[in-house]
Chains A and B, each alone.
Chain A
Amino acid sequence: MIDSGDTAFVLVSAALVLLMTPGLAFFYGGMVRRKNVLSALMQCFTLMCLVSVQWVLYGYSLTFGPDGGPGIIGRLDWAGLSGVGLLPNEEYSATIPHMAFMIFQAMFAVITPALIIGAYAERIKFSAFLVLTVLWATFVYDPIGHWVWATGGWLRKLGALDFAGGIVVHTSSGVSALVMALLIGKRVGFEQRAFTPHNLPLTVLGGALLWFGWFGFNAGSALGAGGLAAQAFVTTNTATAAAGLTWALIEWQQDKAPTVLGVVTGAVAGLVAITPACGFVGPLSAIFIGAVASILCYIAVTRVKGLLGYDDSLDVFGIHGVGGIWGTLATGLFAEKAVNTAGADGLFFGGVHQFLVQILLVVVTACYASGMTWILFKFVDAVVGMRVDKHSEIVGLDLTQHHESAYTVIE
């Protein structure tokens, strides 16, 4: 039966999650050079248009539709939202219209490929970006979403826990981002100099919008306006706060000063890490998960990236990949049935099995997402060409791909 409170909450949450994508656009837009800021905003905004349509046409059906095989992919029964009505779908959410569940999930499908934009920022051809994104949504996001979240999904049947998308959203996009950064190559001049962010206030604005929207992402994933939503809301806020503080403290100790970019980056790492765990763990566990997320992501971004020398321009792998993997494993450590009876007990509460399932979840997702991304990238590169020519890259994507510039110099 439809509950008006639950429905109102989920619809508002869907709107909050939508706002994360422009939030991400500003977060990324501030970090690129001034000649590429519009391209970052454009890519994020266009994804809101592109994936929204893909989702209605067939993406939702592939992900959540009736299982078409042994838990691998949904059938196209719900293509064009046929059969997705205004009554609840009892299996997914018994108290809200099926249509509300669908549109809430649409926003997740939108932001996931948008996260990857940071990896190939400042050098991707816009046409190739469009083709690659549709393919990635179809062949990476939709299947993994089905495995983990759909009734009948094979990982869900194994008991995988991913409350709001640590695996489906962050690990899948983070790992894919690493593959794309490696394949597309370094930006011109990457060896000679560090590229500094052109407008940090934009990045702070974007980070704040992400934090705000993330309440819809995580608390909204309770799919009801009740205690579980409040629980997820509190763990999300707590882990994020702990992570922001931790990153600032690490920088203070290591680099002599806490930076604005650092504290915002830390907060985002905390948001990522708590995402799979938020509805299964207590607030003190959330502090630990957030703090460790910042430590691991800091090492990945400032040490490992330098050692390996890949140009993951805005650290999608370092934050979303590493943070998502840590959060997924941490769910297997800190989950408590005392918090959520629909969850399980993690390793620290006697549940060895759950921890092993979470490890399997990470391994399977990382292997599938990276392998499939590699194939899709090679395909699009052969057909369209992924990278702009050197001259366009030097002039900037704003002028060469979109014939606009963000800032005038005189007037």
Chain B
Amino acid sequence: MKYIIAIIQPHKLDEVQKALEDVEVNLMTVSSVLGRGRQKGLTEVYRGAKEAGNLLKKVKIEIACNEDFVEPAIAAIVKGARTGEIGDGKIFVLDLYQVVRIRTGERGGHAIG
């Protein structure tokens, strides 16, 4: 089992979601986050006071899946999120130790989907 964390451009969420559905990865958790990579933040100005290098709004997608789904999910995220511009984001893949379905108490690969 793997835990995939993807940080993407907010406006690409729909396309990523669609691409993931196409490879039958339907379960995910999405949150709105702030972040910056090598891309510099945008400057904001309030009554003349400049706020440089503000963090940029990004969307974080978290997916827990069994091994068979890992590569298709990664490919789907890349397909949906890539513009080729700086700031497209990153995908992190972690080993997942355990999954528990709260309703039934099931554990492991059965509980994941």
Contact = CB atoms under 8 A, between A and B. Distances in A.
Interface of A: 35, 188-189, 192-193, 391, 394-395, 399, 403-405, 409-410
B14 A193 contact: yes
10 contacts: A35-B57, A188-B11, A189-B14, A391-B85, A394-B9, A395-B42, A403-B42, A403-B43, A404-B44, A405-B44
Contacts of B44: 399, 403-405
Nearest to A398: B44
Query: Of A35, A391, A394, which is in contact with the most chain B CB atoms at under 10 Å from its CB?
Result: A394
Given A409-B34, A409-B57, A403 B45 contact: yes
B46 interface: yes
B45 A410 contact: no
Nearest to B14: A193
Interface residues of B, number: 14
Contacts of A189: 11, 14
B57 A404 contact: no
B79 to A, nearest CB: 15
Nearest to B54: A405
B29 interface: no
B32 interface: yes
B32 A409 contact: yes
Nearest to A407: B57
A410 B34 contact: yes
A397 B33 CA distance: 20
A399 B42 contact: yes
Contacts, number: 26
B17 to A, nearest CB: 10
Q: Which of B32, B43, B46, B57 counts the most chain A CB atoms within 10 A? A: B57
A394 B11 contact: yes
A189 B43 CA distance: 26
Contacts of A404: 44-46
Given A394-B11, A410-B34, 20 more contacts: A35-B57, A189-B11, A189-B14, A192-B15, A193-B14, A391-B85, A394-B9, A395-B42, A399-B44, A403-B42, A403-B43, A403-B45, A404-B44, A404-B45, A404-B46, A405-B44, A409-B32, A409-B33, A409-B34, A409-B57
Determine chain A's interface SS by DSSP, over half rule: loop
A193 B9 CA distance: 16
Contacts of A394: 9, 11
A42 to B, nearest CB: 13
Nearest to B32: A409
Contacts of A409: 32-34, 57
A192 B32 CA distance: 21
Contacts of B15: 192
Interface in B19-34: 32-34
Interface string B29-60: 00011100000001111100000000001000
Contacts of B34: 409-410
Contacts of B42: 395, 399, 403
Nearest to B45: A403
Nearest to B43: A403
Contacts of B57: 35, 409
Contact of B14 (A35, A192, A391): A192
Most buried by A among B11, B15, B45: B11
Nearest to B51: A403
B99 to A, nearest CB: 29
B66 to A, nearest CB: 30
B64 to A, nearest CB: 25
A342 to B, nearest CB: 51
B53 to A, nearest CB: 13
A409 B46 CA distance: 17
Nearest to B56: A395
A188 B11 CA distance: 10
A21 B44 CA distance: 26
Nearest to B46: A404
Contacts of A391: 85
A403 B15 CA distance: 28
Interface string B5-18: 00001010011000
B39 to A, nearest CB: 12
Contacts of B85: 391
Contacts of A35: 57
A404 B57 CA distance: 13
Contacts of B43: 403
A397 B85 CA distance: 20
